Structure 1
């Protein structure tokens, strides 16, 4: 498996870990009555700040993962895997791992800077595939 595909697989597994990091405290805080419902109404209780941040980090990774998966797919299918695209794939993964605690603990401006590393790593992969 190429470095890009390995990083993509690990990024998908990170998303699974992020789901657990968010879902467990959210279920405890909101209660099973709400979490097992159709959620047609707002919950009667609020999530803690940290749990809400974990939920936003989870959603944010879905958004980033889509673009990263496209970048990996384009590089992989066009056979344009290089040391640069491999380094970018690993940079994306490291950034996403660091992003979770940075968001959960409200580390500013680090959360945004970490996010930018992952975004620009993905952008560089897409541009490398074009040129």
Structure 2
């Protein structure tokens, strides 16, 4: 059950990512005009590093969230939920929360370390469900 609660919280983090990205991409008139258009033309190039980073961080979280959701489903469906999988789920969530500022502020190499923690936590959950 803990893993499902963490999955819901991780989905809410995706809402946070979408909000931050939307804000950063729509700060300029050009960005707002494109957002309100039928989007027949490509999106304007990011005006600063934060816009591009926010968009890439959001895309990364979507990918990570999909794998994490599969891991939560696998752990739940196989009855493999344990203290270890709950800890891994919380580690994933903490890593994803730290990933936002790490990416936006360009924390190198810490952004990659934080990403690896979340990825490893997801992998651990999948392995527990498998074995």
Relative to structure 1, is the Cα distance of residues 90 and 38 closer, same or farther in structure 2, using a 3 angstrom cutoff? Answer: same
Whole-angstrom distance in 1 between the partners of 2:76 and 2:45: 46
Relative to structure 1, is the Cα distance of residues 44 and 51 closer, same or farther in structure 2, using a 3 angstrom cutoff? Answer: closer
C-alpha deviation, 1:69, in angstroms: 0.1
1:48 matched to 2:45? The reply is no
- Structure 2 unmatched ranges of 5 or more: none
The SS at the match of 1:28 is: coil
Give the match for residue 17 of structure 1.
Answer: 16
Whole-angstrom distance in 2 between the partners of 1:37 and 1:65: 29
Give the match for residue 119 of structure 1.
Answer: 119
The SS at the match of 1:46 is: coil
TM-score, with length taken from structure 1: 0.93
Whole-angstrom distance in 2 between the partners of 1:44 and 1:11: 29
- Structure 1 unmatched ranges of 5 or more: none
Aligned residues: 130
1:53-112: CA deviation from partner (whole Å, max 9, x where unpaired) = 011100100000000000000101111101110000000000000000000001100000
The SS at the match of 2:26 is: helix
Whole-angstrom distance in 2 between the partners of 1:116 and 1:100: 14
Detail structure 1 runs of 4+ shifted over 4 Å in the superposition.
none
RMSD over aligned Cα, in angstroms? 1.3
Give the match for residue 4 of structure 1.
Answer: 3
Moved more, 20-29 or 34-43: 34-43
Relative to structure 1, is the Cα distance of residues 45 and 66 closer, same or farther in structure 2, using a 3 angstrom cutoff? Answer: closer
